[in-house]
């Protein structure tokens, strides 16, 4: 069995007081923050980081950590009216990005190591009773992230991954459906290319995105396998929004691309199992 371990660590990068868990499997490692239940680092080998965390990220005053793999739940983006019966001012992308999750399980097997984090909420205005959401992170030859809720309820979710890229102008995501919702204009767009490139702000929802996407960039490609989703979201804030965001540096937009595995349907009360699996190609 390759060298494998699961350990607690305090701090990640400049977030020196952040409670985290580190997974090691052979040469590969991953770091997960208990705050937000958020994977912050995936290195398939030492010095090869697939994820991006903003140098200006913070986790004080209920701020979500900008980077890694934030968990959006139980809504994506601005809260939908169905999930906000009292029309309260509610945060973007749900409420679990700023919760402290608990470590609820761990396994070490010859084929990989994994931890499960859990968070329980009993104050959702649109759902009576308590609901538990779990995040299982398994490190093996790939990194698999599984978000699960066994309660059949109205819920949206996204694994909002920030991928590090060397040069945004050489980054591309494909194959994507030809039809997407452009969140910037609010309209559906019919494209003639299944490839998204980045030379301006991009904020797109691709309904019915496939099971495998490829993020191409200067220093090697990443395969993103997904399941349980009904959409993929591709986002880069570009220059103006990087400048406006307190937790992004002016040039941060050159350093990452978000490719998000999302389930956005609000037609049915249903359980949730959303998976994103990452592999360096």
Ligand X SMILES: O=P(O)(O)OC[C@H]1O[C@@H](O)[C@H](O)[C@@H](O)[C@@H]1O
Going residue by residue from 48 to 67, which x/- string records binding to ligand X, judged by CB under 6 A?
Answer: ----------------x---
By CB atoms closer than 10 A (0-12, 13-18, 19+), residue 270 is: middle
Check residue 233 for interaction with ligand X (CB under 6 A).
yes
* Distances 2 to 28, 43, 124 between C-alpha atoms, Å: 10, 16, 43
Interface pick for ligand X out of 28, 136, 260, 276 (rule CB under 6 A): 260
Residue with Cβ nearer ligand X (81 or 91): 91
How many whole angstroms separate alpha carbon 31 and alpha carbon 52?
12
Check residue 148 for interaction with ligand X (CB under 6 A).
no
Check residue 198 for interaction with ligand X (CB under 6 A).
no
Interface pick for ligand X out of 37, 134, 149, 203 (rule CB under 6 A): 203
173 beta partners: 196, 215
* Least CB distance to ligand X at residue 25 (A): 29
Check residue 92 for interaction with ligand X (CB under 6 A).
yes
Interface pick for ligand X out of 93, 99, 229, 280 (rule CB under 6 A): 93
Residue with Cβ nearer ligand X (142 or 182): 182
- CA nearest neighbour of 5 among 24, 28, 32: 24
By CB atoms closer than 10 A (0-12, 13-18, 19+), residue 252 is: buried
257 beta partners: 163
Check residue 248 for interaction with ligand X (CB under 6 A).
no
Residues at the site binding ligand X, with contacts judged by CB under 6 A: 64, 77, 92-93, 160, 183, 203, 233, 235, 260
């Amino acid at each position: 069995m390759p060298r494998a371990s699961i350990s607690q660590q305090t701090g990640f990068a400049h977030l020196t007081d952040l409670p985290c868990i580190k997974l090691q499997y052979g040469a590969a490692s991953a770091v997960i923050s208990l705050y937000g239940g958020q994977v912050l680092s995936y290195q398939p080998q030492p010095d090869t980081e697939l994820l991006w965390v903003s140098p200006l990220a913070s986790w004080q005053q209920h701020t979500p950590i900008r980077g890694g793999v934030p968990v959006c739940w139980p809504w994506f983006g601005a809260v939908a009216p169905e999930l906000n019966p009292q029309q309260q001012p509610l945060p973007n992308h749900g409420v679990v990005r700023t919760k402290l999750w608990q470590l609820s399980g761990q396994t070490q097997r010859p084929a990989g190591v994994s931890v499960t984090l859990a968070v329980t909420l009993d104050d959702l205005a649109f759902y009576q009773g308590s609901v538990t959401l779990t995040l299982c992170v398994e490190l093996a030859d790939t990194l698999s992230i599984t978000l699960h809720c066994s309660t059949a309820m109205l819920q949206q979710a996204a694994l909002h991954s920030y991928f590090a890229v060397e040069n945004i102008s050489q980054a591309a995501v494909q194959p994507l459906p030809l039809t997407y919702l452009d969140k910037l204009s609010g309209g559906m767009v019919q494209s003639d290319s299944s490839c998204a490139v980045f030379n301006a702000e991009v904020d797109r929802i691709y309904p019915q995105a496939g099971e495998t996407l490829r993020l191409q960039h200067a220093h090697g490609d990443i395969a993103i396998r997904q399941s349980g989703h009904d959409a993929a979201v591709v986002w880069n804030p570009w220059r103006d929004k990087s400048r406006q965001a307190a937790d992004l540096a002016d040039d941060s937009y050159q350093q990452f691309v978000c490719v998000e595995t999302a389930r956005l349907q609000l037609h049915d009360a249903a359980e949730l199992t959303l998976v994103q699996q990452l592999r360096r190609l």
